[in-house]
């Protein structure tokens, strides 16, 4: 969240920001900002604030996102196509370099400059393309199979957009993206607010 807010501030021409303004923008209190940023190193100038570019650089280094991560996307349906066409991934250092699907009608199609390849070929293409991360955008019943292809190819980090839990061996990290979680949260907050 800090990187996103700081990059937006930088785009708006802000070079320095106080912990109070950063806290308001991130919807946390200033002491939490100071505590979190202290984890990444010594920053800020008393009475001046934090240098935005220095914060962005240090946080990215600490998170390991100060370099390009090459990704494979498995599942070229509507969501997969949307992600392939989303320019922010590349701007933030996540380059989707391979598109895979098991649907014979999609194989060979070109989406956002990438030819869709059969998922069974993911392992052989991983080394050639330098793929390190996987993105699953399949229907839920195909998520585990997509995961198996990624794990078999040596992928150690997976972002799963499919509404299904997947099993991975030890040493493989999975992050789940569940849009409905956010819908539920918004609906709950609106319901709670209407009860006042």
The annotated binding site for NAD(+) is made up of 75-80
Structure tokens, 183: 């819908």
Contact 75, 136 (CB under 8 A): yes
Specify the residue for token string 């923008």: 25
Strands 133-136 and 69-74: parallel
Phi, psi (5° rounding) for residue 137? -130, 35
Mapped onto helix, strand or coil, the DSSP state of residue 157 is strand
Binding residues: 75-80
d(CA 94, CA 89): 5
d(CA 172, CA 191): 38
């Amino acid at each position: 969240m800090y990187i996103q807010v700081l990059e937006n501030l930088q785009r708006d021409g802000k070079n320095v920001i106080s912990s109070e303004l950063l806290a308001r923008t991130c919807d946390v209190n200033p002491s939490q900002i100071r505590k979190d940023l202290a984890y990444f190193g010594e920053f800020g100038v008393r009475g001046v604030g934090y240098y935005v570019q220095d914060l962005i650089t240090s946080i990215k280094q600490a998170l390991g996102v100060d370099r390009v991560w090459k990704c494979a996307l498995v599942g070229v349906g509507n969501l997969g196509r949307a992600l392939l066409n989303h320019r922010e991934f590349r701007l933030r250092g996540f380059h989707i370099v391979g598109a895979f699907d098991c649907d014979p009608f999609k194989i060979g199609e070109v989406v956002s400059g990438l030819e869709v390849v059969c998922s069974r070929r993911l392992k052989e293409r991983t080394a050639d393309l330098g793929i390190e991360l996987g993105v699953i955008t399949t229907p839920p019943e195909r998520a585990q199979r997509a995961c198996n292809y990624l794990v078999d190819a040596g992928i150690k980090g997976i972002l799963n957009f499919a509404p299904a839990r997947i099993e991975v061996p030890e040493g493989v990290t999975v992050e789940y993206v569940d849009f409905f979680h956010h819908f539920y949260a918004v609906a709950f907050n609106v319901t709670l607010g209407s009860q006042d």
